[in-house]
Amino acid sequence: MTLKNFMAIGEAMIEMAVIGPDTYRRGFAGDTFNTLWYLAKVMPDNWKVSYFTGLGSDAASSEMRAFGEDANIDMTPAREVEGKTVGLYMIHLDDGERSFSYWRSDSAARQMAADPKALREAFAQADVLFFSGITFAVVLPEHRETFLAELAHARREGKTVVYDPNQRLRLWPSTADMIEANTRAAQVSDIVLPSFDEEHAYYGDETPEATIARYQAEGVKTVIVKNGAGAVLAQTVGEDAITVTPKIVTNVVDSTAAGDSFNAGFCAAFFNGKPLDEAIQAGAKLAGKVVQSHGALVEISE
């Protein structure tokens, strides 16, 4: 059986998650890595999942590689960056809502796009390439043009590019810089998975319909607008828009990785032939399970 390859691109970090007063549990997480971790659990056997990032040669980086491999994630595409290590973040929780403190300014992942040849060779191995606004922000500014150019090349070669804007203003010099970067990232993507609260806050979109129209004007084929616990609106160019109302989850313990796990459930279904509405339901179902436990990566049951 020939395996298809779903490759995520981004930064995985050491996660310090609260488990009690003044007590933290160490893990490994990051938005695209979270999506891949869940995808490894729900993707059918005719797919493998792999991760392109930058890691150091130190013990923490080795442990992260091993953690990914143990989760059935192919970590071999990850570049080794001499003299660097992985970033770290700490989760703070307030009634299930999260905020973060980060230590990542000199992480190995910032160098992931330094070698155009490595990008092209890695991307050529994939059938689907998945990245986020955080991925693009983490890449060093001097490497961003190369990164986008290689994604555009991969798309021309028949790869499907999936993008979650996941916009984090603290990673950019200004709102204008973030908006410009997000637009350019969308322009090399086939599928975009924005969150309406961000689109409303940063672009002034009054409705999910406005969000869809704006991304499709940039050449995106399919747009799925996540809206927290509300209805998801989606549309593919040339087809009618659809609205999917997910089942309400009342026992929200920790919203960390809600969007990341939605992406995993959606992609697992969509890239295995499910209709758009069923794929959205699959994403919402998986996210609904994840938010009922602490941390970014939680065990899920059928």
**What angle in degrees, to the nearest 10, is found between the helix axes of 196-203 and 175-187?**
120
Angle at 256 between CA 250 and CA 262, to 5 degrees: 75
> Rounded to whole angstroms, how far apart are CA atoms 216 and 223?
7
Measure the CA–CA gap between 70 and 34, rounded to whole angstroms.
14
What distance in Å separates the CA atoms of residue 93 and residue 192, rounded to the nearest whole number?
A: 28
Q: C-alpha distances in angstroms, 34 versus 51, 234, 259, 260?
A: 11, 23, 10, 6
Q: Chain-centre distance of CA 70, in angstroms?
A: 20
Yes or no: say if 135 and 293 are a contact pair by the CB < 8 Å rule.
no
Query: Can 260 be counted among the known catalytic residues?
Result: yes
Tokens standing for residue 66: 């091993």
User: First CA to last CA across the chain, in angstroms?
Assistant: 26
Catalytic residue among 94, 106, 260, 277: 260
Active site residues: 260
